[in-house]
Amino acid sequence: MTDSAEGRAGDVVRRLRAGGGWSRPAAKPPTDTAPRPHRGAVASLAVVGAGPAGLAAALTAADQGVRVLLLDSDAQAGGQFYRQPAAPLRARRPQALHHAWGTWTKLRDRLAAHVEAGRISHLADRHVWFVEWEFGGGGLFGVHALLGPAQTGSETVTADAVLLATGGYEKVLPFPGWNLPGVLTAGGAQAMLKGGLVLPGRTAVVAGTGPLLMPVAAGLAAAGADVAAYVESTHPADFVRHAATLAANPAKVAEAARYAAQLLRHKVPVTVRHTVVAAHGTDHVEAVTVAALDTHGRVRPGTERRIACDTLAVGHGMLAHTDLAESLGCAIDADGDAFVVTDAEQRTDVDGVWAAGEATGIGGAVLALAEGEIAGRSIAARLAGVEPRPADWASAARTRTRLRKFFAAVDVAYAPPAHWVEQVTDDTVVCRCEEVTAAEVREAVGELGATDLRTVKLLTRAGMGWCQGRVCAAGVAGVAGCSVGLAKRPFARPVPLGVLAEEPGG
Ligand SMILES: Cc1cc2nc3c(=O)[nH]c(=O)nc-3n(C[C@H](O)[C@H](O)[C@H](O)COP(=O)(O)OP(=O)(O)OC[C@H]3O[C@@H](n4cnc5c(N)ncnc54)[C@H](O)[C@@H]3O)c2cc1C
């Protein structure tokens, strides 16, 4: 870390100490549409997240002459969809695990060219924990990141503008046995395969709800796992009422058909309108019980059956990463699953901060690419002090409109079973970090009068551990019968005390 960077990072620490904790900026930056003035000959943009959205924005802005700092916690660019095998594995045919490989290679090659030309600095292995406006009083944003896999050091970079392209993460609702070794998220199983070239086990059940389950089941089967069951809690017929939306998205229908064909080819038994009610095992998952659901999302008694497996890959949809936007004071829509609110240019309501991709709502890689392109064009124009021309991104805007509509329909069709909470027995651990059971949460509500998630947390410690509620909030809220609301986490990552203590004045 440079001396000046240390000094600036120290500002954060001093503010924390002075205020006794993190607080939002006293006043939001101006929200008018005036271009943000920049320092130096070339305007700079910090992009947090090198997935499809961040890459598209970084490349588009760099094409227009913006100097880009592209930060990502992963060692390689690509995000979740284009996740690459770890370099030391020397994968010979990584494309075997991917769809849309051609799009990825174009992004990869453009990134390499910009890096080579010095227009983009790809700062890998940077876990951004805090972004602040008016950093050090200099009219710039300060982006603070923990370094490397160990996350023991910190670095701060500054920029005229920030794009938050931090993507999403999986929602998993609790059920008895979900905390057994061998139970992992569907995306986690996918990440092991794409990033580590390993199978999570020999015999897998893929279960839950949502479009992510299909590529995961197909990918595991293609890689040699015995997929003993693919258990989806909704029914394809639920999509029929969205026929017009489906007709407008033939590429998505074709994609689903390709996955379905793969499942058929690998003889994966597909069970719809069923759910996993329990995972069994002592030291490791050995079997799961699945049961049929009625049309109201209730388990139909007597339909339970046991399936042997050593892996359960489970997911109940996706959630947007909103932490950095929240701490910057950006508007968040938290009526349902929270997401960052943006306008037609992908601007947040905080001047100088844009957001794109799944941080602004779950919608897949193609939508993330379109939003990233729009953001990149808007940022380049505004940093240059000119009014952006929507005609420049007309095609991306059409893609965005179409896919947002499509994923709104997906969201409705793939809702978790309405009565999933009824399967959560009292002894089910609902907060894994703090080992809080459903009984403790129910007691907090029923006997101690808690009516919101924050009070449940204070009474039970649910959500106070390492994940700070990212994994368990939806489950705990469901068991408590309250809404999730905004988490208001001060930092996007747990920050080691050593990092804060090493700052000037520590
Ligand atoms: C685990 C998982 C697996 C998925 N698998 C598939 C699949 O197989 N098929 C499919 O169609 N869709 C899949 N999806 C959905 C798909 O990945 C997304 O639709 C798409 O990648 C969204 O692009 P994005 O750029 O918005 O976000 P992402 O691709 O998620 O990229 C966000 C990037 O931001 C980085 N990041 C986040 N927070 C920080 C931070 N604080 N500091 C630094 N970096 C940060 C992440 O490391 C990541 O590289 C998956 C999603 C997840 C979460």
pLDDT at 199 over 90: yes
* pLDDT over 90 (residue 188): yes
Q: Taking 60 as the threshold, does the pLDDT of residue 477 lie above it?
A: yes
- Please state which CATH number belongs to domain 32-169+319-388: 3.50.50.60
Mean of the per-residue pLDDT values of the chain: 87
Q: Does the CB atom of residue 249 touch ligand 1 within 6 A?
A: no
Binned at pLDDT 50, 70 and 90, residue 503 comes out as low
SS3 306: strand
Residue 313 has pLDDT above 90, yes or no: yes
Q: Is 421 helix (H, G, I), strand (E, B) or coil?
A: helix
DSSP 8-state code for residue 47 = E
Distance in angstroms between the alpha carbons of the first and the last residue of the chain: 16
Interatomic CA distance for residues 289 and 38, integer angstroms: 59
State which of 80, 99, 164 you would mutate to test the pocket of ligand 1, scoring each by most atoms of that ligand within 8 A of its C-beta.
80
Q: What is the 385 CA–ligand 1 centroid distance (Å)?
A: 32
Give the per-residue pLDDT at 21.
28
Residue 483: CB atoms within 10 A of its CB come to 13
Every domain range in the chain assigned CATH 3.50.50.60: 32-169+319-388, 172-315
Whether domain 172-315 has CATH 3.40.50.970: the reply is no
The predicted-structure confidence for 124-139, as pLDDT tens digits, reads as follows 999 999 998 877 777 8
How many CB atoms neighbour CB 288 within 10 A? 28
Any ligand 1 atom below 6 A from CB of 323? no
pLDDT classification of 490: cutoffs 50, 70, 90: confident
Encode pLDDT of 30-89 as tens digits. Answer: 333 333 333 444 669 999 999 999 999 999 999 999 999 999 999 999 998 888 787 777
Comparing 341 with 236, the larger pLDDT belongs to 341
Structure confidence at residue 242 as a pLDDT band (50, 70, 90): confident
83 in ligand 1 pocket by Cβ < 6 Å? no
